Amino acid sequence: MKKLIFTLVVAFYAVSAFAQTGSNFIFFAEQGEAFFVIINGIRQNEEPQTNVKVQNVNAMVIKAKIIFADKALGEIDKTIPTPEFPSEVTFNVRKDKNGKYVVRWMGEVPIAQAPPTPPSTTVVTYTTTPAPPVATTVTHSTTTTTVGTPVVNNGVNVNVGVGVPGFGMNVTINDGTGVYYEENTSVTTTTTTTSTSTPAPTPVPAQPPVYVMPGYNGPVGCPWPMSDGDFAGAKASIQKQPFSDSQYAIAQQIFNSNCLTSSQVKEIMLIFDFEGTRLEFAKFAYGRTFDLGNYFKVNDAFTFSSSVDELNEYINGFRR
């Protein structure tokens, strides 16, 4: 019976993994502001919406940007490490206590436990193909008033009056010359032009090919370490995991394609409770560290000198 249950569980997760390999990210505006969701530079929804679900996002780390339809509200940047397993993560787009718009993490559940998507949510599938530009229509109206053509009256009017029973005649001759105008008319001409515009992320200044660390002139193991903001988001994603194994798995997933500094490696090591896990991560991260000459800093995260010796032995073998 135990083998049967185990087989069914494995089959369930296999089917789930086959059906969806990425995670879902839901963004909703607390006050109903319409927005576009930009992920890794690509606009995901064609029209501005207040509640957007981007499904099957399979990028290692996503750079999200919220662009409001009302440009006066500005834009929001958010770096989001993807979960270890396909999950549905919800974010709230709202103002903070200072009145600034922010994107806040609200909750996360495995895909299999995600509730049904409500009809009010716009669902789009994650794409890396640029969406067509957003069309905008501008209407110009011009009103021209034309005064009627003047008409000249040169006619002669003759009025004859006869009195009865007495005889009398009254003759009135009016050789009047008059000018009048036809009724005024208004003609309205409307010209409609259509232009296209695509809300694009704010251009990022080009970076040099290799980061220059102030005061450091030693060997370099990777070209560009994570920024403080990106690292803080990645660290928070690791810390919220309930178990050491899952923390380590998330750390590997995030930093498998990112560059670290020695100080960042030390900070991640201190998250782990076990000495062995810290040592394994120190070995894993060495080849992904910018300032290799400062790697001695990670030794402060160890409790036992034997761990320092084992790491040094690994580094010496790595260099060969």
Q: How far apart are CA 246 and CA 263, in angstroms?
A: 22
State phi, psi for 204 to the nearest 5 degrees: -95, 125
pLDDT at res. 218:
87
pTM above 0.75, yes or no: no
pLDDT single digits (tens) 183-194: 555 555 555 555
Model confidence band, residue 35 (pLDDT cutoffs 50, 70, 90): very high
Radius of gyration of the chain from Cα atoms? 38
Q: How many CB atoms lie within 10 A of CB 136?
A: 10
pLDDT at res. 207:
46
